[in-house]
Amino acid sequence: MDHELRVERVDQLSDADLADLCEATDAAIIEGGGFGWVEPQGREALTRHFRGVLLVPAIELFIARLDGVPVGSAQLIRPPRNNEAQAFGAQLTHAYIAPYARGHGLARLLVSRVEERAAALGHRVLNLDVRETQHTAITLFEVMGYTRWGTHPAYARVRGRTVAGHYYHKLLEPPHGRTLDISGNG
């Protein structure tokens, strides 16, 4: 059976989409998929969270859909306007697909769409960080060309255990124009 896979950048969510997204988020949290939370938050807290995200101009929310139903999301965070020196970079955060919707290529499509948008906005570097326990995400990012540049040994606390975190970056190809010179010569 072929499934319809879609990723879209959204600036509003219907009540039905928000309910499905909250369910997918809690499922990912329960499975250990990150998102910063360790325990499921429930619909009320997650509704507040996503509505808040939609209000922040520097954050763009991407929704992954399987057969039209939201099953994951990611956020693209642009640097503040007063950080001109680092304006060439952006951050990918809170990327996940609910466990029941994995195995269809949606995670790769979600990350690709965020990369495309970041490049279209003029960013030349996409940064992210991930807990060492998130093996599937680490594999995905490394297969997609992200370079691990560091590890923080005390990155997070998960169920009473200190967990390391890995930091990654990827150079983005501009839609047109020059690539980024990271050799220090330009």
3-state secondary structure at position 177: coil
Condensed to tens digits (0 to 9), the pLDDT of residues 38-82 reads: 899 999 999 999 999 999 999 999 999 999 999 999 999 999 888
Of residues 134 and 181, more confidence is placed in 134
The predicted structure's pLDDT at residue 47: 97
Beta strands in 22-124 (DSSP E): 59-66, 69-77, 89-97
The class level of CATH for 5-171 reads: alpha beta
**Quick one: average pLDDT of 102-129?**
96
Cα radius of gyration (the chain): 17
Condensed to tens digits (0 to 9), the pLDDT of residues 127-170 reads: 999 999 999 999 999 999 999 999 999 999 988 999 999 999 99
Greatest alpha-carbon span in the chain: 52
Burial tier of 103 (Cβ tally within 10 Å: 0-12, 13-18, 19+): exposed
Of residues 29 and 84, more confidence is placed in 29
The predicted structure's pLDDT at residue 35: 73
The predicted structure's pLDDT at residue 116: 96
The predicted structure's pLDDT at residue 87: 87
> Given the DSSP bridges, would you call strands 161-171 and 125-131 parallel, antiparallel or unpaired?
antiparallel
